[in-house]
Structure 1
Amino acid sequence: MVCKPLLVFDLDGTLVDSNAACVAILRAMLQARSSAHMIDERSARRYMSRGGREMVRALLGDACIDPDEDLREFRARYADHTTSRETLFPGVESGLQQLAEAGFAMAICSNKPQTLCEKVLHDTGLAVHFGTVVGGRADLRPKPETDLLDCVLSAHQLARGEGVFIGDSEIDHAVASAAGMPFHFLTWGYAEAGWSPPEGTVHHSFETLVSALSE
């Protein structure tokens, strides 16, 4: 019997489109500050993979008071936000079910804070598929450093180079490359327009990802 590799997924931009939720929360912060600053939802996508502090600073613009304090407020508001299943990218829900039924173990490796990762997975019904969830933590450096990914691999008693990483951005590719892991790139996420990984497999639908992993 062939042992199936661990599938390590990024979360935002890979499984869940969090752009609209982030923009809505930031718009509410602007309204509370009586700011006339506007956030364009489409233009905001480019900031979704750059880290919370940079996203908040850039999108709040002149209404940003202090990036660290504003990020804390943003995350507190996010904790009260319910993530709809409708924010799942097409094919994700059924595709993960197929992979689970095929016997794959799956994990999450995300820069999103741990508690928010767990909440989003619970809200969207995806939590059942992931035995290991490693999100942003104070004692671990964010991707593209390998701390979070090393934590995932350690939980499964795996070494670097084992498993497969699935993500949507340059950061995901960088961490997979640093860990010597095969990389599958999903084109609908938050990478810079036109970017493609120098090595790895590119997918334009979740269905093709599932097919490739199942071969």
Structure 2
Amino acid sequence: MAQNAAPGRRTVIFDLDGTLADTSGDLIAAANACFTALGHGEVLDAGADQLTAFHGGRAMLRLGFSRVNGGTVNEADVEREFPNLLIAYEDDIDRHTRLYPGALEAVARLHTAGYAVGICTNKPEGLARLLLTRLGILDRFTSIIGADTLPTRKPDPAPFMAAAREAGGDPARALLVGDTETDRLTARAAGVPCILVGFGPEGPGVARLVPEAMLDHFDDLDQVVADLIG
């Protein structure tokens, strides 16, 4: 009698912005570069507008234009400035960005324990690779799927599945570590557990999304992952 095939490799896929690293300072600075060039000065605040930064470049531009135009946003203005924002961000992508405490060590422990490890982000893949290179951690991840790698992006499950497969893992024995509703919806669509970090831009408030687990510090990741996927 033929034996059943062995289960695939357990896999941990990370979001990038707001999960592995606090990138908000550089994202806000890039948006402010656009508004400064338009003569408006620094419209966004690196502290107060941190959560908006993690919703992407267009979200920051919409917020800024709403402030300078009395609440009105012209989408043509947003689309015109979006390429300029990306250029400004690429030019100074790691000035303020920092990995969250314990992130690098947690990734190393996952590798040692035999997990496949990758990244699925809604940042363009080229910018994600550039940032990881500047931070000196590109080689820690065996897959990187960005917003433009596939025809779809999170919360569509396809990028997550691709990240798991390209990491050498099994999407059926995988989970997603993230920080936003987008990550929660992605995991749900993929039928996998979701860990949301309580130290990201929204803080403990992400518990409202009822993930399978919350993470207060990367020191605890090993046990949480083991509890969820073995």
Q: Which amino acid aligns with 1:135?
A: G
Is the deviation greater in 136-145 or in 20-29?
Answer: 136-145
Structure showing greater radius of gyration is 2
The answer to whether the 8 A contact 2:142-2:166 is kept is no
1:145 corresponds to = 156
1:135 corresponds to = 146
> Following the alignment from structure 2 to structure 1, what is the Cα–Cα distance between the partners of residues 218 and 38?
40
The CA RMSD measured in Å over matched residues stands at 2.6
Q: Deviations over 1:35-93 (max 9, x none)?
A: 14532222212213323322222134437762122111111111112415961111112
> Following the alignment from structure 1 to structure 2, what is the Cα–Cα distance between the partners of residues 157 and 127?
16
Offset of residue 194 of structure 1? 2.1
> Following the alignment from structure 2 to structure 1, what is the Cα–Cα distance between the partners of residues 202 and 151?
23
> Following the alignment from structure 1 to structure 2, what is the Cα–Cα distance between the partners of residues 163 and 139?
19
> Following the alignment from structure 2 to structure 1, what is the Cα–Cα distance between the partners of residues 115 and 96?
22
Change (3 A) 1:156 1:130: closer
Q: TM-score, normalised by structure 1?
A: 0.87
Change (3 A) 1:78 1:39: same
Match of residue 221, structure 2, among 201, 209, 212: 209
- Alignment map for 1:152-163 (pairs within 5 Å): 152-155=163-166, 160-163=171-174
> Following the alignment from structure 1 to structure 2, what is the Cα–Cα distance between the partners of residues 48 and 28?
14
Q: Deviations over 1:162-181 (max 9, x none)?
A: 31110111110110011011
Offset of residue 149 of structure 1? 1.4
The answer to whether the 8 A contact 2:143-2:164 is kept is no
Change (3 A) 1:21 1:86: closer
The answer to whether the 8 A contact 1:48-1:190 is kept is no
2:15 corresponds to = 10
Q: Which amino acid aligns with 2:158?
A: D
The answer to whether the 8 A contact 1:85-1:124 is kept is no
Structure 2 residues not aligned, in runs of 5+: 1-5
Change (3 A) 1:79 1:126: same
Offset of residue 213 of structure 1? 2.6
> Following the alignment from structure 2 to structure 1, what is the Cα–Cα distance between the partners of residues 184 and 156?
11
The answer to whether the 8 A contact 2:179-2:198 is kept is yes
Offset of residue 136 of structure 1? 1.0
> Following the alignment from structure 1 to structure 2, what is the Cα–Cα distance between the partners of residues 18 and 86?
5
> Following the alignment from structure 2 to structure 1, what is the Cα–Cα distance between the partners of residues 98 and 199?
13
**Total equivalences in the alignment:** 215
Offset of residue 192 of structure 1? 7.6
1:49 corresponds to = 54
